[in-house]
Amino acid sequence: MNDRNDATRRTVLGLAAGVAATTVAGPARSDPAADAARTDWAVALDDPAIRAMETVWIPMADGTRLAARLFLPAGAEARPVGAVLEYLPYRLRDGYRYRDDIAGPALARAGIALVRVDIRGTGDSEGIIIDEYMPAEQGDALTVLAWIARQPWCNGQVGMRGISYGSFDGLQAAAKNPPMLRAIVSTCGTDQRYLDDIHYRGGCLLQAQIDWAMEWQAVMRSPPDPTVVGADRWRALWRQRLEAARAVTIDWTRHQRLDDKWQYGSIADYRSVHCAVFHVGGMLDCYVDAPVRMMEGAPTLPQKALIGPWTHKWPGYPDPPGHRGPPTPAANGVPGPGLDWLPVEARWWRHWLAGEANGIMDEPRFWAFRQRLAAGAVFPRDAMGEWISEDKWPSAGIERQAWFLNPDGLGRAAGARVLREHRTDLLVGFATPTTYSSGDTTSWWREQSGDDAGCLTFDSAVLDAPLDLMGRPVFRIRVRADRPVAKLFVRLTELAPDGRSHLVSHAVLNLTHRDGHVTPSPLVPGHDYDVTMDGLFTCHRFAPGSRLRVAVSENWWPVTWPSPGLGSLHITTGASSVDLPVRPVRDDISPPFTVWADRYAQSGLPPAPYGDRLANVTVSGPAGQRVFSLNTGTNTPDPHLVEAIGMTIGYAYRARRTIREDDPNSAEMEAEANAIHQRGDWKTRLRAWSLMRSTATHFHCRETLEAWEGDRLVFSRTWEQRIPRDLV
């Protein structure tokens, strides 16, 4: 998702800064010491030290033009500077203007140009977009980088920055090694699209794919601005976008294994990357593993990582100039503590794009926030914990400790080998309701004991000293199933003395993918398999008096689609274990960045529903056949005026997840997205809707896209298809 506090992964915000862009002249800031000491990183667009250019056209080889906004240090034509590209399909002129109006001026005043570009076929750019990260999109990125490097205000050194979609595009460009690309900032993105994107996880189909598909349609198919592309052209350009629309839910569901679709856009060989990489992640984000995976895969590449307690967020932006009241969504870093990110990023760019000797690469390469309690338990107060660092990653100081799943619980030595049975419980999973937590606290991990009750659990003895973990736990499970298709979901939690169970890490695996994701194969019922599952990266301190708990289940609803039938798993104790990344308990140095404390507590935001496993869930029907329905969002856009351009925009997202407790093929996932754009008499509206059901052998997908100009329906298309289940 993007930066919205109450939306899904990449939702375009209906908020925008009400400050008009201006073009002004004035002296450029050139004193690094003064910039490092600055506290006023909320820079107005009329600051004389910067120059903002509203719409610049960048030509592609086929004649298509991409729309860009530029933020330049004043005087850059006389003293060229390094430049950074942010390349997104998220409507730079309206939907993301609020955030660009903060990052662009701040970086420009620090001596770095920011070039914000709408991807082909989105926002005000010409052409069409068919799907994510297609060859045309990736080729255009290289063309834009070359164009930037040739501009008189650029010194030839170029970087890329981005969160989520922009992070993907930066990593994909880096893998092609264009000569002008010196460094990237990759925030909440992934180098491996199948392993931990929004489509599949561990070979399991994610609910997030259905949600994102409808967001995709509503955002990508919205029209360009007539005042930019012309009152005589916008309608034809919009029609071109609508006619290019495909049923993305259906398209993505056809590709259930790691095939060419997902391999394209992933980094196949880390040796292909030569630019420096600054990874930024959040422990509540689905992409938290990408920084550690890439640092482990390319140990000689200059890399840094910063992993906070956050969801799918930047670490923190200042509020816009003149802002009053609660932090804006652009403040990010939620849950707190956030940090003053733009000064850190400016140091990175000035080192790599301007050759400034500011010591950023001499500091510890890896920073993470060590949590003492799940963030949702204390929100809106900051997560409990502290920042810790390692000079490099992987760190030689991390010790691997094996803890065995024994008949009497978790132990350091292997116990007796006994079969423990677990029958599918379709209600396990509500306490960890999504892989892609957003600023909406209902999407965050919750207290786990309710889910634990439906699982096999293995508890350690009470800890008599703190236990620090930093890294990815590895679960090694000997498992057998009684059906050819089954899943395995494993969680590591901290079991507190009061009985509450706090999530630390987890992993999921479609057991037909036990030997890899390219060529899955059915299970042989009754046969034992030794499977290895990497848990999500964690940085956590277990308190004395707590216990470690490993919980095992076959289901993770409503996050992953259930297996075709109910069944049983058998786990062999003594032969199953969890390998923990233990960090010595020690004092750590103070971080080289400014931490923002309790920004959200000061705003009076409500607590997260941490103790309510079934928040937003309705239950109906008789015992044994109860229907559980999780409903989130709305289908009514909340309009916001973008004062700088006089346009009103609004987006709304709604989702429903329904299952009957005794039937996995009662599962339904419905998603809807609505978008409006309006200025005066000009008004457009889009609605995208989808519904997915299944039988034991097929997925049934239905998808609709509708568009209105004023009150007149100008486009309507419905797709429907039965798709064979590919061992999912």
Distances (CA, A) of 140 to 135, 156, 225, 244, 715: 8, 18, 21, 18, 29
Contacts of 355 (CB under 8 A, 6+ apart): none
Give the 3-state secondary structure of 130-150.
CCCCCHHHHHHHHHHHHHHHH
Between the alpha carbon of residue 614 and those of residues 424, 436, 577, 645, the distances in Å are 19, 18, 30, 42
Other beta carbons within 10 angstroms of residue 261's beta carbon come to 18
Distance CA 481, CA 260 (A): 30
Q: What is the pLDDT of residue 7?
A: 39
3-state secondary structure of 361: coil
Residues 353 and 500: their CA atoms lie apart, in Å, by: 49
∠ CA 412-418-422, rounded to 5°: 100
Torsion of CA 179, 180, 182, 186, to 10 degrees: -100
Q: Which two tokens stand for residue 619?
A: 């239950």
Q: What is the spatial distance between Cα 12 and Cα 221, in angstroms, rounded to a whole number?
A: 13
With beta carbons less than 8 A apart as the criterion, state whether 374 and 432 touch.
Answer: no
CB atoms within 10 A of CB 152: 8
Q: Which stretches of 334-376 are DSSP H helices?
A: 341-354
Give residue 556's pLDDT.
96
Q: Is the dihedral of CA 725, 703, 213, 260 positive or negative?
A: positive
Q: What tokens appear for 648 in the block?
A: 């009103």
What distance in Å separates the CA atoms of residue 511 and residue 526, rounded to the nearest whole number?
13
What single-letter amino acid sits at 13?
L
**703 CB-near residues (< 8 Å, 6+ apart):** 213, 247, 248, 249, 250, 688, 689, 690, 691, 718, 719, 720
| Strand pairing class (547-553; 487-495) | antiparallel
Joined tokens for residue 610: 């941490």
Joined tokens for residue 323: 């802002």
CB 596 within 8 A of CB 333: yes
Of 364, 506, 357, 487, the C-alpha closest to 432 is: 506
In whole angstroms, what separates CA 191 from the centre of its chain? 12
116 close to 92: Cβ distance less than 8 angstroms: yes
Q: What's the rounded Cα separation, in Å, for the pair 578 and 550?
A: 8
Partners of 351 in the beta sheet?
A: none
The residue length of the chain stands at 728
CA distances, 498 to each of 217, 517, 543, 550, 552 (Å): 46, 40, 13, 17, 21
Question: What is the pLDDT, as a whole number, of residue 193?
Answer: 96
Q: Is 300 exposed, middle or buried (0-12, 13-18, 19+ CB in 10 A)?
A: exposed
**Domains in the chain: ranges and CATH:** 32-203+256-390 (3.40.50.1820), 206-255+616-728 (no CATH), 399-583 (2.60.120.260)
Q: Which of 531, 435, 518, 523 is nearest to 486 (CA)?
A: 523
Query: d(Cα 423, Cα 408) in Å, to the nearest integer?
Result: 20
CA–CA distance from 58 to each of 66, 125, 142, 145, 508 (Å)? 5, 9, 12, 10, 44
Q: What confidence score (pLDDT) does residue 329 get?
A: 65
- Phi then psi for 144, rounded to 5 degrees? -65, -40
- Residues 120 and 115: their CA atoms lie apart, in Å, by 15
Rounded distance, CA 457 to CA 448, Å? 12
Q: Is the peptide bond before 380 cis (omega within 30 degrees of 0)?
A: yes
Tally of helices (H runs) and strands (E runs) in the chain:
13, 35
β-pair partners for 73: 50
Residue 173 contacts residue 165 (beta carbons within 8 Å): no
pLDDT at 38: 54
Task: Please report the sign of the dihedral spanned by the C-alpha atoms of residue 215, residue 217, residue 218, residue 219.
Answer: positive
Q: Could you count the other beta carbons within 10 Å of the beta carbon of residue 17?
A: 23
| 3-state secondary structure (DSSP) of residue 635 | coil
Compute the distance between CA of residue 316 and CA of residue 314 in angstroms, rounded to an integer.
5
Instruction: Determine the residue type at 107.
Output: L
- Indicate the pTM of the whole model: 0.94
pLDDT of 28 reads: 34
DSSP code per residue over 88-122: ESS-TTTTTHHHHHHHHHHHHHTT-EEEEEE-TTS
Over the chain (728 residues), the average pLDDT of each successive run of 10 is: 37 28 30 49 92 97 98 97 97 93 96 98 98 96 98 98 97 97 97 95 97 96 98 98 97 98 94 97 96 96 97 91 73 90 98 97 97 96 97 96 98 98 98 90 96 98 98 98 98 98 98 98 98 98 98 97 98 98 92 93 89 96 97 94 96 97 98 98 98 98 98 98 98
Burial of 228 (0-12, 13-18, 19+ CB in 10 A): middle
Q: Nearest-CA neighbor of 119 among 143, 153, 102, 99?
A: 143
Contact (Cβ atoms closer than 8 angstroms) between residue 448 and residue 501: yes
What is the distance between the alpha carbons of residues 299 and 273, in angstroms, rounded to a whole number? Answer: 12
